[in-house]
Every structure is written in structure tokens, then in C-alpha cells.
Structure 1
Amino acid sequence: MNNTPLNILNNVFGYSQFRHQQAQIIDDVLAGNDVFNLMPTGGGKSLCYQIPSLVLNGVGIVVSPLIALMQDQVNALTLLGIKAAFLNSTQDYATQQTIEQQLINNDIDILYVAPERLLMEKTLSLLERINIALFAIDEAHCVSQWGHDFRPEYQQLSLLRQRFPNVATIALTATADERTREEIINVLGLTNAQKFVHSFDRPNIQYRIHQNSVGKEGLLRFINDEHPNDCGIVYCLSRKSVESTAAWLASKGKNALPYHAKLPTTVKEDHLNRFLREDNVIIVATIAFGMGIDKPNVRFVAHLNLPKNIEAYYQETGRAGRDGLPSTAWMSYRMQDVIQLRQMTESSQGSELFKQVTQRKLNALLGYCEVSDCRRKAILNYFSEDYSAPCGNCDNCLNPPKTFDGTLAAKKALSTVYRSEQSFGALHQVDILLGKTNEKITRFNHQNLSVFGIGKEHTDKEWQGVFRQLVAMGYLGVDLQYGALKLTEKSRDILQDKTQIQFREIPKTVKQPKTKKAPKQHIDLSTSDNLVFEQLRDLRTTWAKEKGVPAYVIFHDATLKALAQKKPTTMDELKDISGIGCAKAERYGAEVVKVIKGL
């Protein structure tokens, strides 16, 4: 076989042409250059180191933080006829010895290894004895203390440049702002690297946010209405919330499983394997879940709490729709989320600079949540990408929010905070504005305040929205110990009539945005095509069970869709389908053609 990158892309991976800047990145790595590659989830980062590993002499060493997923990654490559392996602590001594001997014999093309394992002197000494084609640092944002998944052991990877100065290194990540990019490059010693920053746009993902909390009930309505049989991820802020939400969804008939760091290892492994191998599992998790998961048919990612920052939000929502098919990013959040995240920041062991940066990033996320303009535009602009036209595929574009002159409401809210001595949270402030009489109001004599009852023109939900937006815009701060609202310097401009302010109108009833209804699996197929698709999907399930691998490792849904539409009846026609290379055509082609001819 002609060992050129394009030939390998065609015959091994089954794709007809490179995407984005893959070809240029691969050429740079083959030329021995270091590369920094920022490419969105689903953009094809893996090919940027897999193909050079197959072209160059020696083994490609892939540093991955995800021991639990290495087996599936190796299985996927093995099905393509690639000699791949991994080294980690889950293997017994004999297995590790066999793999080490294969490395010495130059009988492995790609080796996956966790950073902790790689940095052991025994491993480094082994690598000095073999021919290394390249180092690939996957999930490279873990290097940076400004990255949302910072892992201290990743910073020690600077050792690779010292021990292997002549081996090209490619660092890959799906999300990193300017500060994070700089630290990755500096820590890994990639100061002369070729830098590739791709578009962050994921047009197949529909972004939707509920500013007033609709909670679990809203989540269930969303799943039942739009993704009743789909695979999805639900993120929660705490382990307790993860377990209660998973149990509640299960009680409502959903195939929901919890996942967090404190679960027994066997339970976590079982839940992860079910999520990867079954088509309708909903995993409910903390942010410890998801990095590096290649499952392409996750149709929705939901957040029941605020994530930590826009980078984390983008990374987590990016786990939906890796196959390019329509998917949804749904979020509901409350003011309490803001307080909790700020408390977590303040109580962290980080430096004052770290806390300040973390706080600014949270403020940027709040601004994104409250924006009335196109959400896709807001995300891309945050990552310094110019995007001016409305996307037509987010809640603000599909169902534009109404705004109103909120200057008077803001003055009333800020005055109430001031009159109550900046010592109470938003809910108590709302009670004052609405003139409610309860034990707390009476205990502090707040029924005698001049602002008591001056806000009856708005409902409690509307006032909660006003306070939330004032916090998001920086006119109010939050006491991190007690959750009390505080005036900021910026609030003077409103109280002294120096500025006016617009608020999003808070709807009195929660409505799901207008969305495009899609057939089962969100795949737009005719009736006859869908029959072929379902038959092939059943066959794929059988093959996946026989191999003990997730179904998408056999064929992606997008490949099944192409098969159902084009209906190839010869092996040559089969190889024209995206995602089917020579090894898969030889292994599965005859039965695929048989199914198509028989329908």
C-alpha cells in the first residue's frame, strides 16, 4: 500500500478527503515540526497524530489522561488493521511485559499511555531504547492551571522535551483561551511550534438556556419531547445531586445512571461501559465525566447547574453530536449556582491571581447566560472568533427574548439591597419588594423599610430574574460566606441616574423553544431508507456485542445513514462510503451488501 497520508486516510480510515487543516498539520508533523492544534470536539484531532504515526518509522506515543477509555480507543484502531496498544495500571505484569517487548521489536504503531505511567523512570528508560515517531499530548489543556481540567502531573510532561529533544510533539485540545494556549506552549516547550487554531463553531448543536430554574421537571419534559430514546449526558454540580437526579429520572422510566468520583470503581466501569455500548443510556455526572469520550451519537448534553466557565461549558456541550448530526445543549440554572461556584473558588488553595481569573471567567459565563443576542455568536466571540450573523439555531434566534427598560426596576432592587444593609440574599429582597409578611421580614422589621412593597408590578420570578441579571452585569456582588447581595461601585451609575439598563423579560410561564422536530435518531431518511438503516443498526449491534466494543466503533450512525441512502451493492461501491476503509469493508462488507440487496 502507498504509505502517503491521503492513501492512509482513504484506505485505512475510509474518508475521501481531509477536513479543516488536517493535511497541513500532518505535513508539519511529518517534517519533524512541533504543532499546537486547537480543534473543536468532533473535528478530527486524532487523525492528526494517528496518520503520521503510521507514515513515520517507529511508534506514536499518545499521552492520554483517560485510563478507562484506552481499551476502546485501541479496539477501534485494531478493527482498522492498525497495531495499537496501551500501557496502564489495569494490566497485569505479563501483559505489560508482552507490550514492552512488542515496542522493542517495533511491532506497535500507536501506544496510549497515561501521564503518570509515562513519567515513571522505567517507562522513560524503555522509550529511550525504541524508535519514537512522535509524542501526542491529548487533552493538552490539562497542562494549564487556567484550563478547566487542570491536572498537575501534566505539567511534568515538560520532561519529554528534555529527554527526547529531537522527537516532534503535537499538543491537541478542543478548547483553550489565549492564556491557556500560552501556558500549554510554554510548559511543553513548544515555543517554535506551528500553531493551528480552528473555528470553534459547532453548527449542529442547538444552544438553549433557561434563566429561571426549571429543574428536573423541565429536564424531563425536554427529554420526553425531543430525545425520548436518545443517549445523553446530564451534568450536576455535586455528587449528591448526581445520585438524586439519576434516581429520579430512573423512576420516570429513563435509562439513567449516576457517575462520579466516589462511586465504587466496579460501578463506574459498569456505568461507563453501558453508556458507551448502549444507544439510550443517560449518564448523570459531575464534570469528572466525559473528557476523551469518543461516542459520536450523544444527542443531548444537559446542565442542571452552571458549569465553571465558558471553556468548560463549550467542552462539555461539545460531547454532543460528534457525528455532525443535530444535537442539543440544554441548561437550567439558579442564582444559588453562582453563589456555590464563587464559594468553591474562594475556598480553593489557588493563589489570589488564580481566584481573580476564575471569578472573571465565571462572570463571563453569567454574561453569556443572560445575553439576548445569538448564543453561538457570544461563544465564538469569547474565543476571539469573529461571528456576526445570527445562527438561527439557538434559543435566542429561534425564539427571540423580549427586553424592557429595566432602569426603574434596577433602582428599586439596588435600593432594597441598600436599605436592608446588604445582609440578605435575593429571595428575601424579593419578599421585601413584594410586601410579603413572614417570620423573617417581621424579625428584622423590614416591613417598616421605605422600599417594602414597592415592587408589586413584577412577580417573584420576574424579580429573581432582575437580581440575577444585576449580578451577571456586575451591578451586584455576592457575599461568598453568607450569599448576601452587595452593591458594587458600578451600581452608583444606576442609583445616581447616570445610566439606563435593559433586561431580558422573564416569561411568566416556562415554554420550550420552538424546535425542528426530527425523526427517530434525528436522521432525515425516507421510509424505505429508514428500513435499511434500522436493519443495519441491528446488525451493527450484533457485531459490537461479538467484539465487546461500542457500536460506533464498528460504524458511526452517519456511516449507516450513508449506506441507507446510497445502498451500495458491490464492494467497490461500499468503499465509497465515508467511514469504511479496506479492513472494515473486508470484515463486514459482504453482510452489509447482503442486507441491502435483500430489502
Structure 2
Amino acid sequence: MHTDSRAAEVLARVFGYESFRGDQQAIVDHVISGGDALVLMPTGGGKSLCYQVPALVRAGTGVVVSPLIALMQDQVDALTELGVRAAFLNSTQDWQDAREVEQSFLTGQLDLLYVAPERLLTERCLALLDRGRIALFAIDEAHCVSQWGHDFRPEYLGLSMLHERWPDVPRIALTATATDATRREIAERLSLNDARHFVASFDRPNVRYHIVEKQDVRRQLLDLLRQEHPGDAGVIYCLSRNKVEETADFLCAKGITALPYHAGLGTEVRARNQSRFLREDGIVMVATIAFGMGIDKPDVRFVAHIDMPKSVEGYYQETGRAGRDGLPATAWLAYGLQDVVQQRRMIDESQGDDAFRRRMGSALDAMLGLCETVSCRRQRLLQYFGQTLTHACGNCDNCLTPPQSWDGTVAAQKMLSAIYRLWKERGQRYGAGHLIDILRGKKTPRVIENGHDTLSVFGIGLELSEQGWRSLLRQLLAQGLLAVDHEGYGTLALTNESRAVLKGERTLILRRETDRKEKNSTTNRGKNLQPDLPVGAQAIFEALRQWRADIARDHGVPAYVIFQNATLREIALARPDSLSALAHVNGVGVKKLESYGKSILECIAEFEAAT
């Protein structure tokens, strides 16, 4: 059988899909024929099929290197439901279970074997793999090898030896997020220099990007959940463990089921909370970035950040967990001046060398640029990854409600003058709050005690509110016109670029923050999305969801492992009345048709008989 037909047959028989999407066909054919590949594909784009199909076509076992020990069971369960012979080796198993998996591998009874990188690199595991037949190596979450990245895992650096030890076994490295520089680093560190690169579009048109200025962030977050996403599953990211727990407690007190997740919690607590998030509907996970990589839950309707991420790569990776099913989802971020000051200070105080600090500073600048842009967010985001969107997306806050801009040159000169005079005349530096008090003419005890009410700049900034001045300061920091003096506990200092503004040689057009009301109609959430189901089909869909929930509970797996929502929607629309008709629905392979076909037809028949 020709490579193309073998892959297509596996895709239809096992996974229930009639055709590949995007670059999947080319990637699959390349790996089946023995070629190495580096695959960049957004979350929800179908990366797993790119190694699962070749592993089923090629002789031997596909070895999948994954850092996600906590999720391996779910990944194996999902494959088992499809009739794929899959297993894992990791530290959660006792020696008897591990021995059974090893014997299955040696006797050729496994299609896919998931292994954590630290386990793979042990002499015992390497010797085991030497004795079996390997179809391919798949290195998932390959960005973990990047020492500049947000998810660096030192054990990934050892994976370059795979090529040396098994030179004839094809390798495929996969990630959802990488700039050109990160992609080159992945190829170099994994010895994939001769690999073919496949870079899909990073555009996720179903995800609506919305970035707001922090005012009362808890209230803002609560409004988002109640008005936009009542009862929806979602993830809320915080920078600190304390904020994770405080936010989860706050939401629970407001009647929202929220669970905390961070590295400081016990292993059992983290595992229990993650399991509930994956298996139950409508759970909100409040987490640090320790949570989320590899999460396959398709119906996450929102990802919210209540602290500014450190980089666009991290932001894109985290927001990519929303809307994996292709339905409308929200990526919401609230940030403020204090976020910028804190991030600058963390970079300045880091233990890295100058090159590291410059790299982190550039990453932060790019993130600030995305936050402060007055143009289409999606265009700016894709531009960061070296891709071009020729038209505004129509599905971000800037497109839906265009922000106002204003000439902030004079206001900036007032602020820079205040900072200059305090330093030049008195050798003093202060933080944002005190500077704003001076400009707004507020006679606080600190202002009076320091005699700052006698300065020529005292009271000259009444045209802006305190929030307005904070917005201006944030934008000055974003444009490099101010710096954070970490030795002065976050005080503000002029930069070389400040002089041109003070002398009137540079005009500043700034973003004006307003209480813009977002358009929350689903018609504004992107184009070419799946439409709402007709009333009758929606009722069948809900009946099928309940049927699926019961099956998943009996099997002890997340509901989406049985069938994803997209498949249930298609069934609800088609209302198949026979197994042959059901077999033509995307996502219904031979094994699932055999396991659940009659039960699905009975569910539909019962619903129609009752209506």
C-alpha cells in the first residue's frame, strides 16, 4: 500500500477523519518515509496526529518523549479508547506495572509508548529501547529545550543523543510556540539540523484577544466570568502562589467553582485539582504557569491573565489553551503600571548575565508593545512570530472597539520634568504614586514633609486623573523613555531617550484608556465559526453530552476522551439512524463505532420518541 493510502486508511479507521488538515499530510508522509521533522503548529491544530499516524503505519513502537507525567494516563486512555495499544513509563508506576509495560514493548505489543525525558535518559530505559523495535521518536513540547524559553527543562538537553544512538530512527519535534530564534535553538540543541521544518499559521481566529488596564482587577475578573462566561471552564493565570490562592478563595466566595494550582501545593492536591478540571464541567483553574502545558481539554472557553506575562511566547502558549475545539473563546489580560515596574525590576535583579537581561528585556518590550498597541492585536501577535495578517482580524478588542489616541507630548514633558528636577535639584528619586501626587497638587504628608509642594511642577498636571497619569507612565516605560531604578526600590529614572521629549524634538502619540464596553455578542467573536445549533439539534446535543458524561464517569476518564464536542455536534445535526450513517461522522473511528455506536443510536431514538 502506498504511503499516502496507508496514512489515510489509519486516519479514517482509527481516528474517524476523512482527510488531513493543513500540513498534516505532508508531515505524516515525511516521517513515514524516515525523515526528521520540526513541527510548529498552534494548540488545537492537530499536532498529535503528526506522530500518532506515522507510529501506526511504521513497523515498531512510537516512543513519545513528554514532560507531562501527570497527563500521561489521560493521553494513554484517549488512545486506548481509539483501539490503539498505548502505555507509559514514569515514576507513578510500581515495578510490576512498569515490568508489564516493558514486556509489552519488547514483544511488539505496543503502538505508542510515552516516556518522561528524565526516565528515557536512564541506562535501564536506554537498554530497554535497544532491545525493541522503534518506529519513531516524537519529542513533544520541544520548546522545553530552549534555555531562553518560558518552560525550560534541563533534562531536554540530553535528548540530542537520540540521533547518535538510533541514527536510522526518524525524529519529530513538536511545539505550539516558537519564534524563528527559538526554532533555530530547538533544531541545534536536539541535533535536528537536517530536519525539515513545518511552520503552520499561528492564527487562532476563534480566540478573541482582549487586554484591559487594571483598575479593580477582582471586580473586572468577576465581571468577565459572570457576564461573558457564566458556567464555563477556564484558566486564570497569576504570577505568585499567594495571588493564586487569594483569587481562588475570592471566586469561591462569589459562588464560582475555582481551584488553585501551583508548585507549592502537595502533589496529591495538584493531581486532584487537575483531575477535577479535566473531568468536570465548568471548573475554573486559578494557577501559576506551572499549570497548563499539554492540557488537552478542548472546551476551555477562556484564559485570563491578572498579571502581565513575561513574554509574547509565554502569553501565546498560555492563551492557546482556550478554544481547542474551534468554538469561540476569550483570551483576557489585565495589566497595570505596577506590573511593568515589577517585571523591569525582576529583570534587573536577575542572576543572569548582560546577554540574558537584554534578551528578557526585549521579550518584555514585545509584550508591552502588544498591550499598548492601538492597532489589531492579532496582527501584532502574528508579526512577533514572523507571520503577516494582511487585514485587521475583527475579533480583538481594538478591532471591535477601536481605542482613542492623543498627543501626550506635553503631559510627558511635565512628568519627565518632575523626575528631572527631583533628581537634579535634590538628588532624590520617587515612585509613581508620589510623582503623580506632586503633579496633581495633592498636599499629602509626604509631599509637605519633603517640601515638594514648593516645586515649580507642583499642581501642573490637573488635566489628567491619577489613572490617566499611570497610563502615561506605563507607556513611557514601554517606549524606553523611563527606566526603573531597582536600587531605589522601584523608583523611576530618565533614560537617554528622555532628552528628545523634554526638548520638544519628539512627539508622543499615546493610547487613551477609557472604560470601553466590549461587544459581547457571539456574532463579534470571529468569522467562519461553527454556528449555534438549531433548537432541535441543540436538545439532542445536550442529551448526547449527558450520555457521554455517564460513560466517562463509568470509565474514569475525561468526557472529551469519549467524544469531543465537535463530534457530538455533528451527530446532533446529522441524526444518524444507522451504524453506517454514524460511521461517516468525523471523529467516529472503527473502535468507537464498535464500542458506542448502538448506544448513541439508542440515545437519539429515545430522545426523538420523547419529543
Q: Could you tell me how far apart the structure 1 residues matched to 2:476 and 2:310 are? A: 19
Note the residue ranges of structure 2 that are not aligned, 5 or more in a row.
none
Counterpart in the other structure of 2:204: 202
1:271 partnered with 2:309: no
TM-score calculated relative to the size of structure 2: 0.95
**2:497 equivalent to 1:490:** yes
Provide Cα deviations, 1:519-552, integer angstroms capped at 9, x if missing partner: 9x99711221111011000000000001100001
Query: Please, which of 90, 107, 110 is the counterpart of residue 108 of structure 1?
Result: 110
Alignment of 1:427-446 (within 5 A): 427-446=433-452
Q: What's the counterpart of residue 88 of structure 2?
A: 86
With 296-305 and 11-20 compared, the bigger mean Cα shift is at 11-20
Unaligned 5+ runs, structure 1:
none
Q: Quick check: 1:526 aligned with 2:531? A: no
Deviation at 1:518, TM superposition (A): 7.7
1:474 and 2:480 are equivalent in the alignment: yes
Relative to structure 1, the CA distance from residue 522 to residue 22 in structure 2 (aligned partners, 3 Å threshold; closer, same or farther) is closer
- How far did 1:205 drift? 0.2
Q: CA RMSD in A?
A: 1.6
2:520 corresponds in structure 1 to 515
- The Cα offsets for residues 87-145 of structure 1, whole Å up to 9 and x where unpaired, read as 00000000001111111101100000100000001101111111111111100000011
- Identify the match of residue 396 of structure 2 among 394, 398, 401: 394
1:502 is matched by which residue type in structure 2?
I
Aligned pair partner of 1:193 in 188, 192, 195: 195
User: Which one-letter code corresponds to 2:474 in the other structure?
Assistant: R
Shift of 1:308: 1.0
Spell out the pairing of 1:552-567 with structure 2 (5 A cutoff).
552-567=560-575
Tell me the alpha carbon deviations over residues 374-405 of structure 1, each in whole angstroms, 9 at most, x when there is no partner: 00000001111011311000000000001111
1:470, distance to aligned residue in structure 2 (A):
0.8
Counterpart secondary structure, 1:420 = helix
The one of 576, 581, 592 equivalent to 1:584 is 592
- Could you list the per-position Cα deviations for residues 158-184 of structure 1 after superposition, in whole angstroms to 9, with x for gaps in the alignment? 121221122111010000112211111
Count of aligned residue pairs for this structure pair = 596
**What CA deviation, in whole Å up to 9, does each residue of 1:9-51 have, x standing for no partner?**
1111111111110000111111111100000000000000000
Match for residue 504 of structure 1? 511
Conservation of the 8 A alpha-carbon contact between 2:211 and 2:397: yes
Aligned-partner Cα distance in 2 for 1:391–1:557: 26
Give identity over the alignment, percent.
52
Q: Is the 8 A contact 2:340 2:474 kept in 1?
A: no
- The 5-angstrom pairing of residues 141-152 of structure 1 reads 141-152=143-154
Tell me the SS of whatever aligns to 1:396. helix
Q: Residue 441 of structure 1 aligns to which amino acid in structure 2?
A: V
2:547–2:603 Cα contact (<8 Å) kept:
no
Instruction: Please tell me whether the aligned partners of residues 340 and 477 of structure 2 are also in contact (alpha carbons under 8 angstroms).
Output: no
What do residues 213-247 of structure 1 show as CA deviations (whole Å, max 9, x unaligned)? 34111000011001111000000000000000000
What are the residue-to-residue correspondences of 1:207-218 with 2, within 5 Å?
Answer: 207-218=209-220
Whether contact under 8 Å (2:141, 2:176) holds in the other structure is yes
**Aligned partner letter, 1:498:** E
Q: Is the Cα contact below 8 Å between 1:211 and 1:370 reproduced in 2? A: no
Structure 2 counterpart of 1:402, one-letter code: Q
2:319 to 317, 320, 324: 317
Residue 339 in structure 1 maps to residue 353 in structure 2 = no
Partners in 2 of 1:351 and 1:51 — Cα distance?
44
Q: 2:582 pairs with 553, 562, 574, which one?
A: 574
Verify the 8 A CA contact 1:214 1:332 in the aligned structure 2.
no
Kindly state the Cα deviation for residue 153 of structure 1 after the two structures are TM-superposed.
Answer: 0.8
1:455-466 aligned within 5 A? 455-466=461-472
Q: Distance in 1 between matches of 2:345 and 2:156?
A: 26
Contact 1:242/1:286 (<8 A) preserved: yes
SS in 2 for 1:15: coil
- After TM superposition, list the pairs within 5 Å mapping 1:23-42 onto structure 2: 23-42=25-44
Tell me whether 565-574 or 131-140 shows the greater mean CA deviation.
565-574
- Give the 5 Å matches for 1:56-71: 56-71=58-73
8 Å CA contact 2:401–2:516 kept in 1: the answer is no
